[in-house]
């Protein structure tokens, strides 16, 4: 830091301007950051004499104590408007996210929208945010959120008449290692089928865009022209102005002191000014989310992280530039850097061992009155990143640092927000846990508004479902994962990524202790589940790569095991619900598009949205008259349960719905020898005649009660065994002992994925979700449009069928080398983007890559040639007849038919 005078600014209390000054700033387009710097500079000038002659590189701490003036007054004079006793929607929290939800709901025509803010609008994380905006996101559907946000911010000033301080100089993500270049190619193939403009550029173009860079280590850049930054204060005020313009009421200061649910699903929202009766509430309270959640019995897994950014004084080289510099993200240095007036602003993400959590707020609550305060900065903690920034941008070496901002940013365990209705209580929605609230605010406001008004999400965003977490997330896990997520902000994002902090949770299947050291484990909704298993000579451990890696040959070995002998897989993470009661048949007939199975029979059914999209896929078994076992994926446990409970409550159905996921373990056994193994352990007739496909029976295996369903997600002869968790290990060990002569062994989810794709099995979350309808997904067999019940989505689906489809799910094979498709890759034809893959894998049976892809109808014919982009290269692909390998029941049926003809 030679030649640089560093000043720590330590704030003791809120740093605020008075209301008149704030209004004038807003009208004149003065950013909150600029006002902060002006206030800081004033204190610096007062202390100049003490600072004069300071040794270069020394540190001086100046205490800035700002005082506020609060007048005693009644509610009317405090709020300046009439208090509303009722509301359609009450939004709690006046940061940029809450203001966006209010704006979108009011603009969409909803009457009686009320936003309650405990102190000032922007108080919390919004006011001190660095304000970065980007179209980029590694996730597929969060790209849509970012897109909607930026498109809104581009027009918001013209719509509301309020300046938002939007700058769009573009951004460049810097690659300074071969792995980073691969990562950028990986992301480009997932961007080409989206509307966002983005380019992979070489060093020369990077230098042209950001001439102040040291190019010694720069190999490439990911350039997004529309990126930039915005003033969070002005943005929030513009959203609030828009909300008021369309009829919403905003009350502040109006802290919520209590939340009481009513029997009809409405809420009493209590404040010092009175109580509002609301049809629904939206928690958008940032780092106060846990406090609000606890009012109704929830421990939302959010925690504040100390995030710091540094602002410099004027840099002559920056001032001399003719146009604004793009935002850069130095991924190896783990920081972002942008222009702030004629200086620079850069913010690092420290490694997990150095970063700081405000964990006391989790255990003891947020200090009363904390709003526009900051934490004490700690330059030492970020010095490693400061030095890397100076190496990459040399002008920083002589730049004066005028401010270090350290404020709370809320994190969830996986860094993604919690957005949507919350399972377990009616009409309670969340918009919390935003590590990047400014760029998410606009799109999330639109997403929630559309969902609230239309009764379904506008597109799939299950990765942000608040119900992906449940009681298995305790405070130690939350802290460990938030620390890991913050420290991993800029690590290389590989496919099949695993992160290991905080694992395992208490969610451990009955065979976990037997299997944990035998293979590579994956994390699924709190559970540990084997991906693949080790054998002597294998390269063990988690070895991420963009190409085939250490798991490739072992997975092929497990594939052969299931196809030729018999394998066992732990499927305990499947979510399991019991639905029973007087109206269980009527409820499920309303929820699913298939007919309900008879007692002792299983089928595959789909819950649709009102618009006819696929909300969920269920395996349904009627155990006894009116008692149903519902099985769904591990990642959609709370997602599906919330949908089922909401329909049951809103429709007034007399049913009992139980989540038995943690009580019941599941073992799958599959392969041509599976019947032989099980028959050694039971007196039950397991022949085709005695135990038919998709039949369910309660049997004894080695003297232990088991509910067995003849079904297999590998498509081979097999059963799923539902067992009390305490008996699971005993059943597993009995099967392994009985199967020694049949060559029994373990297999994992990677092999199951290859097996299911070969058989043409669709996967929920890939081939079908809230972005797709079941007809284009090829699920016609499971959709009974002629069944008497008026199931959700029936009318919409009839209309879709009458109008005809525009695209269809196609089955394609690829000519590749050391790489396989995974899903979400761009599909090309004649130099144009025509679709995207949904999932893919290597077919060990036919020795080639294969994938599902959505293509326009004119390109869906068997034999049609297309190209699939993988890591920047377009590989030849062809539409083929599905499946590549027939399922065991189909093969058996065809064999019997052939024998009958003979």
**DSSP track, 788-839:** SS--TTHHHHHHHHHH--SEEEEEEEE--SS----S--EEEETTEEEEEEEE
Under a CB-based contact definition with an 8 Å cutoff, are residues 590 and 567 in contact?
A: no
374, 421, 425 from 645: Cα distances, Å: 42, 11, 9
**DSSP state, residue 79:** H
CA distance 614 to 775: 10
CA distance 285 to 772: 32
Under a CB-based contact definition with an 8 Å cutoff, are residues 630 and 576 in contact?
A: yes
Q: Position of tokens 């732990």?
A: 570
CA distance 856 to 858: 6
Helices 96-107 and 232-245, axial angle in degrees (round to 10): 30
**DSSP string covering 729-779:** HHHHHHHHHHTGGGT-EE--HHHHHHHHHHTT---BTTTBSTTS-TTTTT-
CA distance 458 to 472: 29
CA distance 886 to 644: 34
Query: Cβ contacts of residue 170 below 8 Å, gap of 6+?
Result: 209, 223, 224, 225, 226, 227, 228, 326, 327
**pLDDT, tens digit, 9 for 90 and up, residues 74-95:** 566 668 788 999 999 999 999 9
Residues carrying CATH 3.50.50.60, the chain: 81-126+233-299+416-464
H helices of 351-400, where? 360-364, 379-392
Q: What are the structure tokens assigned to 170, written together?
A: 């573009």
Query: Cβ contacts of residue 263 below 8 Å, gap of 6+?
Result: none
Residues carrying CATH 3.30.9.10, the chain: 164-229+303-411
CA distance 848 to 689: 36
CA distance 819 to 821: 7
Supply the pLDDT for residue 74: 58
CA 552 to chain centre: 27
Supply the pLDDT for residue 371: 87
Taking Cα atoms as reference points, which of 826, 779, 823 lies closest to residue 801? Answer: 779
What does residue 733 show for φ and ψ, rounded to 5 degrees? -65, -35
CA distance 245 to 249: 10
For domain 575-660, the CATH class is alpha beta
Cα dihedral 242→371→23→445 (10° resolution): -10
CATH topology of domain 553-573+663-747: Gyrase A; domain 2 (3.30.1360)
Under a CB-based contact definition with an 8 Å cutoff, are residues 837 and 827 in contact?
A: yes
Residues carrying CATH 2.40.30.110, the chain: 792-888
pLDDT beneath 50, residues of the chain = 1-73
Supply the pLDDT for residue 896: 85
Under a CB-based contact definition with an 8 Å cutoff, are residues 472 and 506 in contact?
A: yes
Supply the pLDDT for residue 70: 36
Phi-psi region for residue 96, left (φ > 0), alpha (ψ -120 to 50) or beta? alpha
Pairing outcome for strands 664-670 and 718-724: antiparallel
What pTM was computed for the model? 0.91
Supply the pLDDT for residue 570: 98
CA 11 to chain centre: 35
CATH topology of domain 792-888: Elongation Factor Tu (Ef-tu); domain 3 (2.40.30)
Q: What are the structure tokens assigned to 499, written together?
A: 């992160």
What residues pair up with 814 in beta bridges, in sequence order?
849, 877
For domain 164-229+303-411, the CATH class is alpha beta
- Provide the strand spans (E) within 84-151: 86-92, 113-116, 132-133
The string over 162-172, giving b where at least 16 C-beta atoms fall within 10 Å of a residue's C-beta and e elsewhere, is bbbbbbbbbbb
For domain 81-126+233-299+416-464, the CATH class is alpha beta
Q: Position of tokens 């609060």?
A: 70
Residues carrying CATH 3.30.70.1400, the chain: 575-660
- Count of residues for the chain? 902
């Amino acid at each position: 830091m030679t030649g640089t005078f560093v000043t720590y600014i330590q704030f003791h209390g809120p740093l605020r301007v008075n209301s008149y000054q704030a209004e004038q700033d807003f009208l004149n387009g003065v950013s909150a950051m600029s006002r902060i710097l002006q206030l800081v500079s004033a204190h610096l000038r007062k202390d100049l004499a003490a600072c004069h002659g300071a040794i270069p590189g020394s540190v001086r701490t100046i205490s800035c104590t700002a005082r506020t003036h609060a007048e005693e007054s009644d509610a009317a004079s405090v709020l300046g408007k009439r208090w509303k006793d009722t509301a359609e929607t009450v939004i709690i929290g006046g940061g940029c996210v809450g203001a966006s939800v209010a704006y979108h709901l009011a603009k969409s025509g909803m009457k009686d929208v009320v936003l309650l803010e405990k102190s000032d609008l922007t108080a919390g994380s919004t006011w001190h945010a660095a304000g970065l905006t980007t179209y980029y996101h590694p996730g597929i559907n969060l790209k849509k959120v970012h897109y909607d946000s930026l498109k809104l911010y581009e027009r918001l000033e013209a719509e509301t008449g309020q300046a938002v301080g939007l700058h769009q100089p573009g951004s460049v993500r810097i690659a300074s290692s071969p792995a980073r270049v691969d990562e950028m190619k990986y992301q480009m193939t997932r961007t080409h089928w989206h509307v966002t403009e983005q380019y992979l550029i070489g060093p020369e173009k990077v230098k042209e865009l950001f001439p102040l860079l040291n190019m010694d280590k720069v190999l490439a850049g990911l350039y997004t022209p529309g990126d930039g930054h915005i003033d969070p204060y002005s943005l929030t005020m513009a959203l609030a102005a828009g909300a008021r313009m369309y009829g919403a009421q905003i009350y502040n200061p109006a802290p919520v002191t209590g939340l009481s649910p009513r029997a009809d699903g409405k809420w009493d929202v209590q404040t010092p000014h009175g109580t509002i009766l609301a049809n629904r509430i939206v928690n958008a309270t940032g780092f106060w989310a846990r406090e609000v959640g606890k009012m109704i019995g929830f421990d939302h897994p959010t925690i504040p992280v100390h995030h710091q950014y540094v602002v410099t004084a004027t840099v002559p080289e920056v001032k001399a530039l003719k146009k604004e510099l793009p935002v850069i993200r130095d991924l190896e240095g783990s920081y972002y850097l942008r222009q702030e007036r004629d200086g620079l602003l850069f913010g690092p993400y420290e490694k997990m061992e150095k970063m700081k959590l405000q964990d006391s707020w989790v255990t003891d609550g947020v200090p009363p009155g904390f709003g526009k305060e900051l934490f004490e900065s700690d330059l030492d903690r970020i010095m490693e990143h400061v030095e890397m920034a100076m190496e990459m941008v040399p002008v920083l070496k002589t730049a004066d640092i005028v401010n270090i901002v350290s404020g709370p940013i809320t994190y969830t365990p996986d860094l993604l927000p919690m957005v949507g209705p919350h399972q377990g209580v009616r009409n309670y929605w969340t918009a919390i846990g935003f590590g990047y609230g400014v760029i998410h605010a606009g799109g999330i406001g639109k997403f929630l508004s559309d969902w609230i008004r239309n009764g379904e999400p506008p597109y799939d965003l299950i990765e942000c479902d608040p119900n992906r977490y449940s009681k298995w997330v305790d405070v130690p896990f939350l802290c460990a994962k938030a620390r890991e997520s913050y420290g991993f902000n800029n690590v290389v994002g590989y496919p099949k990524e695993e992160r290991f902090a905080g694992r395992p949770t208490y969610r451990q299947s009955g065979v976990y202790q037997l299997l944990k050291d035998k293979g590579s484990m994956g994390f699924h909704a709190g559970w540990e589940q084997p991906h693949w298993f080790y054998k002597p000579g294998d390269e063990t451990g988690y070895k991420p790569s963009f190409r085939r890696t250490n798991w490739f040959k072992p997975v092929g070995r497990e594939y052969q095991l299931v196809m030729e002998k018999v394998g066992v897989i732990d499927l305990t993470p499947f979510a399991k619900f019991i639905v029973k009661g007087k109206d269980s048949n009527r409820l499920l007939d309303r929820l699913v598009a298939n007919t309900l199975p008879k007692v002792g029979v299983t089928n595959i059914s789909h819950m649709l949205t009102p618009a006819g999209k696929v909300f969920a896929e269920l395996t349904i078994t009627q155990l006894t008259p009116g008692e149903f076992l519902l099985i769904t994926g591990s990642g959609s446990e709370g997602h599906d349960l919330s949908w089922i409970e909401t329909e049951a409550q809103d429709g007034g159905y007399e049913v009992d719905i139980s989540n038995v996921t943690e009580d019941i373990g599941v073992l799958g056994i599959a392969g041509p020898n599976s019947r032989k193994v099980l028959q050694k352990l039971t007196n039950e007739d397991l022949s085709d005649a005695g135990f038919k496909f998709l039949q369910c029976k309660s049997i004894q295996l080695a003297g232990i009660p088991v509910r067995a369903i003849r079904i297999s997600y590998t498509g081979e002869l097999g059963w799923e065994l539902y067992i009390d968790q305490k008996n699971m290990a005993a059943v597993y060990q009995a099967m392994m002992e009985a199967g020694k002569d049949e060559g029994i062994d373990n297999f994992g989810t990677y092999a199951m994925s290859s097996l299911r794709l070969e058989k043409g099995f669709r996967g929920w979350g890939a081939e079908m979700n809230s972005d797709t309808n079941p007809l284009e997904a090829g699920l016609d067999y499971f959709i009974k449009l002629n069944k008497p019940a008026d199931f959700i989505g029936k009318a919409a689906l009839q209309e879709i069928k009458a109008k005809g489809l525009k695209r269809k799910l196609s089955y394609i094979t690829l000519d590749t080398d050391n790489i396989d498709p995974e899903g979400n890759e761009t599909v090309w034809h004649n130099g144009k983007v025509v679709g995207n893959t949904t999932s893919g894998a290597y077919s060990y049976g036919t020795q080639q890559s294969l994938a599902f892809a959505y293509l326009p109808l004119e390109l869906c014919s068997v034999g049609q040639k297309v190209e699939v982009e993988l890591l920047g290269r377009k590989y030849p692909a062809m539409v083929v007849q599905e499946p590549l390998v027939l399922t065991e029941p189909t093969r058996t049926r065809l064999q019997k038919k052939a024998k009958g003809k003979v």
